Structure formats: structure tokens, C-alpha cells
């Protein structure tokens, strides 16, 4: 950062730490979920909402956050988002029940949807020309570094101080960011942005996605044919259809539908939906199987996934170069296909395998595939939208990536639930358990990997059933990654 002046370095520091809070929180909290499940005696569907409530608020409203920053001021929005995020973190740290931590997670998500787009907008407003390119490079590089180190630090905090520590740590960092922003960042806004915010559109998309997520997770409890599941699914789809109609007639749409006139832009975002959905769902489930089945600590689980981050960081710089050399369609076909191979390797995981021959090969191959894909995805979306829509195209692609994880985690919860129960029933039938033993097991089914039994045979049945369910989810994730590659192959225009 020596190439920048003192004020520019402070701005970079504030935006890097601020945005890192949002992105790291999504990964670190998954490490804490098994501990939170034990603390609140929560079912698997209940614990899923700790991730889903945050992702819903962040992903569904991300574009609204960018529009707010442009209109009322980027520094003001950045500070407000940081403060809200800190209050949400405090609420999580003090939570005494599942409903209280879910409420606090929504507050965190709302803070994140203000903070994340405003951080990049501040860089765009305070740096010009080559300095802006260097600043964004620093912002991206340090963001990748914190993404690598954050989970490892989170794992140590969970193992030494408990799960509440991963929320406590956000507070002093947020205070530091607010002080820097208040002292060193100048206010800026886009005076060309006129008209009212598309609040109706934001409400419709958030309601629609929330209803679909609720229906998908609820299907594990009520079943697909239950009127509550069907009714909520129909309601969610209707809200999303109304969102599309709202965007067509709005003067200041949250999502300009004209962007999707480009076949390449549409295909890239559809591939993003499939690929990031697969990645988000798999790495939501992985800490559960590592901690609850293979008895890893939170720190070991965090360190186990570092090879993926390392491959992603090392290869990201080459992804765009290779796309320009071999073509965007080639890279966005090959990258997701390699990622799918990594997921298939993870799906082949067998009980009692060591990390080196069990998890590691799949994690490394997944990291290689994602490393070759991430940068071309973003660059391709921006290029396809054109120079006049860089900001909104990047925002749409980021929002799609968030929403992908939201929906995939909810959808694969049903796969995990059905596979776990079917496998467990088969194993219990072979063991010829007593009525008392079956009653004891049935009372814990909702806990999935968190279920335990003092009988060694029943404990082994529970662990094996959950691992089988995880492998089924990993296979579905591989299919989604292949769908991403196929979408790129048939949808992206052939050009260098």
C-alpha cells in the first residue's frame, strides 16, 4: 500500500476489514453450527435457518444496498451497515434461544447488505484510473487472505472460548472500522441517481425467496404433499412472478431485466446459480460430517478446507488470462466440470478413511476447478453487460451467488433428510432393535448427525446413516456443477 497516500491507505483498510466481516461470517458460522445445535438442542431444519436467515437478508437485498449507498451517501451507508452488523453480532453472542439468534442473524444480514456494496463503492469514489485498479486488487487480495485465515481463527475461537466467540470478535473490528470511516473517509453519492428506491421490488423478492426457502426446509418435517409445503411454495413462486412484473414497470428497477437480453449474461448467471449453489450446500454440510461423524475439532475442520482456498487464491489470477486466451465459454465449461469431479471424489468418501485419502483429494480438485472459474465468471458477466452497466452487472452476479447458496442448502436439506432416514431404517431392520431402542432413536431423528446413542451398534448406525446422506448431497452438488458447465457450453456465445 506504499503507493497510496495516508488517507487512501485508511480508506482501503476500512473497506477491506468491513467487507471481510460480511464474507468471513458466512463461512466461520458454519463451523459453529454443531456447537450451536448442541447448545439449543435444535433440529437440523432449525439450525439451517442460522445460515439461511443471514443469507436471505444479505442476498435478496444486496442490490437495494447498492442503490441506497448511491443515493444517500456511501460513507453514511457503510457506517450504518457496520453498526447494524455489530449489533447483530452482539445479539448472536448473547442469544439464549434459537429464535433470538435467528433474529440477530437477520440484523447481521441487513447490516451486510448495506456494508458490502458500499465498501466497493467507496473505493470507486475515492480512487481514479490506475490507482482504482490497484486499490481493487488490494481489496480483492486481502479479502481472499482473510477468507483463508478467518475460518482457521474461527475454529480456534470455537475450540478455546466457545461458539459465541465467533460473534464477539466482530464487535471490536466493527468499532475500529467505524472510527476509521468517520475520520478518514469523505462522503460521496451519485447525484445522477433520481427517483424513488424500488422498495416494492425488494419486498417482493425477499418475501418470495423466504417463502421458497421455508417450503424447502419445511418439506423435511411436513413432507412434499403437505398443504403447508405446497401452499408456501405456490405463494413464493407468485411473489417472484410479481417481482418480475414490478421490475418491468418500475422506473428505477432493482434488477434491470434488459440485462438478460444478452444470452451470454443470462447463461453466466444461470451457471453461477448452479455452481455456487453446489459449493454453498456442500460446504454447509461438510462441517457437520467432519465434526459429528469423523470427530474433527472446529479448528481441524477449518484447516481441512484451507487447500481449497489456497488453490482458489493461487489460480484466480490465471483464470481471466486463460479465458482471454482460450475463450470464456471454454473456461466456464472446463472449470465447473473439474469442480464437479472434486464433488464426486468427496461423494466417494468411505467411513473411517483418513483425511489424506478421504477428504483431501476432493477438496483440492474442487479448489482447482473453482480457482479457474471464479474470476472468469465475474469478468464475463461484466463484459456481457457492457461498460455502462458494470456496477449493476457485478451486483447481480454477486446477489445470484448468495441466493444460490440460500436455495441449494434448503433444497438439499430434503435430500439429506430422506437419505438419512431411509438408510437408518434399513440398518435398524438388520440390527433387529427393540421397541425401546427404536423409540429412543426415533426421538432423535430430527437431529440428523447430532443424534447419539449409548449402544455402540446404534451409534454406528446413526453415524453411517448421516455419512451416507452427506454422500448423496455431494453427488447432487456434483450434478449441479455439471449443469453449470453444460449451461456455459450451450449458452455462452463462441468468441475470444
Report the alpha-carbon distance of residue 359 to residue 409 in Å, rounded.
20
Show which of 138, 163, 185 is a domain's final residue: 185
Whether residues 66 and 145 fall in one domain: yes
What are the φ/ψ torsions at residue 190 (nearest 5 degrees)? -100, 100
The x, y and z cell numbers of residue 469, run together, are: 446422506
Whether residues 338 and 459 fall in one domain: yes
Question: What is the domain count for the chain?
Answer: 3
Report the alpha-carbon distance of residue 484 to residue 270 in Å, rounded.
7
Rg (Cα) of the chain, in Å, rounded?
22
Whether residues 342 and 462 fall in one domain: yes
Whether residues 85 and 142 fall in one domain: yes
Please report the pLDDT score of residue 309 as a whole number: 81
Please report the pLDDT score of residue 250 as a whole number: 83
Does this model's pTM top 0.75? My answer is yes
Residue 82: inside a domain, yes or no?
yes
Phi-psi region of 354 (alpha: psi -120 to 50; beta: other; left: phi over 0): beta
Whether residues 372 and 407 fall in one domain: yes
Q: Are 35 and 83 in contact (CB under 8 A)?
A: no
Report the alpha-carbon distance of residue 50 to residue 54 in Å, rounded.
7
Please report the pLDDT score of residue 194 as a whole number: 67
How many Cβ atoms are within 10 Å of 248's Cβ, its own excluded? Answer: 9
Whether residues 464 and 397 fall in one domain: yes
CATH number of the domain at 161, please: 1.20.1250.20
Whether residues 14 and 68 fall in one domain: yes
Show which of 157, 185, 213 is a domain's final residue: 185
Whether residues 126 and 269 fall in one domain: no
Residue 270: inside a domain, yes or no?
yes
Q: What domain range includes position 394?
A: 260-496
Residue 190: inside a domain, yes or no?
no
Residue 304: inside a domain, yes or no?
yes
Cα→Cα distances 210→64, 68, 104, 407, 491, Å: 16, 22, 16, 9, 29
Q: What are the average pLDDT values for consecutive 10-residue runs of the chain, which has 496 residues?
A: 70 85 81 89 86 88 82 87 94 92 93 85 73 69 68 85 90 92 80 74 90 86 80 92 90 82 88 93 90 88 86 75 79 92 89 78 92 82 67 78 90 90 89 85 84 86 91 95 93 71
For residue 332, give the nearest of 302, 291, 372 by alpha carbon: 372
How many Cβ atoms are within 10 Å of 313's Cβ, its own excluded? Answer: 18
Amino acid at each position: 500500500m506504499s503507493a497510496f497516500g495516508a488517507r487512501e491507505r485508511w480508506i482501503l483498510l476500512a473497506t477491506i476489514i468491513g467487507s471481510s466481516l460480511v464474507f468471513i461470517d458466512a463461512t466461520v458460522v458454519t463451523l459453529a453450527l454443531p456447537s450451536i445445535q448442541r447448545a439449543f438442542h435444535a433440529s437440523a431444519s432449525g439450525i439451517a435457518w442460522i445460515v439461511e436467515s443471514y443469507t436471505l437478508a444479505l442476498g435478496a437485498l444486496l442490490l437495494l444496498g447498492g442503490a441506497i449507498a448511491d443515493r444517500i451517501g456511501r460513507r453514511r451507508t457503510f457506517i450504518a451497515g457496520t453498526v447494524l452488523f455489530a449489533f447483530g453480532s452482539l445479539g448472536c453472542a448473547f442469544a439464549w434461544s434459537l429464535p433470538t439468534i435467528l433474529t440477530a442473524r437477520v440484523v447481521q444480514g441487513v447490516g451486510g447488505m448495506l456494508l458490502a456494496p458500499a465498501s466497493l463503492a467507496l473505493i470507486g469514489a475515492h480512487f481514479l484510473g490506475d490507482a482504482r485498479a490497484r486499490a481493487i486488487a488490494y481489496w480483492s487480495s486481502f479479502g481472499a487472505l482473510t477468507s483463508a485465515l478467518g475460518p482457521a481463527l474461527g475454529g480456534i475461537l470455537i475450540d478455546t472460548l466457545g461458539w459465541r466467540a465467533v460473534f464477539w470478535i466482530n464487535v471490536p473490528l466493527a468499532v475500529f472500522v467505524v472510527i476509521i470511516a468517520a475520520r478518514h473517509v469523505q462522503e460521496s453519492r451519485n447525484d445522477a441517481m433520481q427517483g424513488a428506491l424500488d422498495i416494492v421490488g425488494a419486498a417482493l423478492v425477499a418475501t418470495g425467496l423466504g417463502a421458497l426457502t421455508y417450503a424447502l426446509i419445511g418439506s423435511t418435517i411436513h413432507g412434499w404433499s403437505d398443504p403447508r409445503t405446497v401452499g408456501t411454495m405456490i405463494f413464493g413462486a407468485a411473489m417472484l412472478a410479481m417481482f418480475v412484473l414490478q421490475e418491468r414497470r418500475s422506473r428505477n428497477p432493482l434488477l434491470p431485466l434488459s440485462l438478460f437480453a444478452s444470452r451470454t449474461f443470462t447463461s453466466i448467471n444461470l451457471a453461477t446459480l448452479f455452481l455456487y449453489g453446489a459449493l454453498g450446500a456442500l460446504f454447509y454440510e461438510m462441517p457437520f460430517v467432519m465434526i459429528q461423524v469423523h470427530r474433527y475439532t472446529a479448528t481441524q475442520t477449518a484447516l481441512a478446507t484451507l487447500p481449497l482456498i489456497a488453490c482458489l487464491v493461487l489460480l484466480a489470477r490465471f483464470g481471466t488470462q486463460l479465458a482471454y486466451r482460450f475463450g470464456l465459454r471454454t473456461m466456464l465449461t472446463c472449470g465447473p466440470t473439474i469442480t464437479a469431479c472434486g464433488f464426486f471424489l468427496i461423494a466417494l468418501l468411505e467411513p473411517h478413511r483418513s483425511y489424506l485419502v478421504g477428504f483431501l483429494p476432493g477438496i483440492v480438485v474442487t479448489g482447482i476447478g473453482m480457482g479457474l472459474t471464479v474470476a472468469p465468471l465475474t469478468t464475463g458477466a461484466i463484459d456481457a453487460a457492457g461498460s455502462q452497466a458494470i456496477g449493476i452487472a457485478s451486483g447481480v452476479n454477486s446477489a445470484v451467488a448468495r441466493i444460490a447458496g440460500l436455495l441449494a442448502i434448503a433444497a438439499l436439506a430434503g435430500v439429506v433428510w430422506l437419505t438419512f432416514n431411509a438408510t437408518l431404517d434399513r440398518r435398524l431392520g438388520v440390527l433387529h432393535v427393540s421397541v425401546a431402542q427404536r423409540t429412543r432413536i426415533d426421538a432423535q431423528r430430527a437431529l440428523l448427525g447430532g443424534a447419539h446413542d449409548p449402544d455402540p451398534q446404534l451409534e454406528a448406525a446413526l453415524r453411517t446413516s448421516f455419512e451416507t446422506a452427506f454422500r448423496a448431497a455431494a453427488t447432487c452438488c456434483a450434478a449441479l456443477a455439471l449443469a453449470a458447465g453444460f449451461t456455459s457450453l450451450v449458452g455462452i456465445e463462441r468468441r475470444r
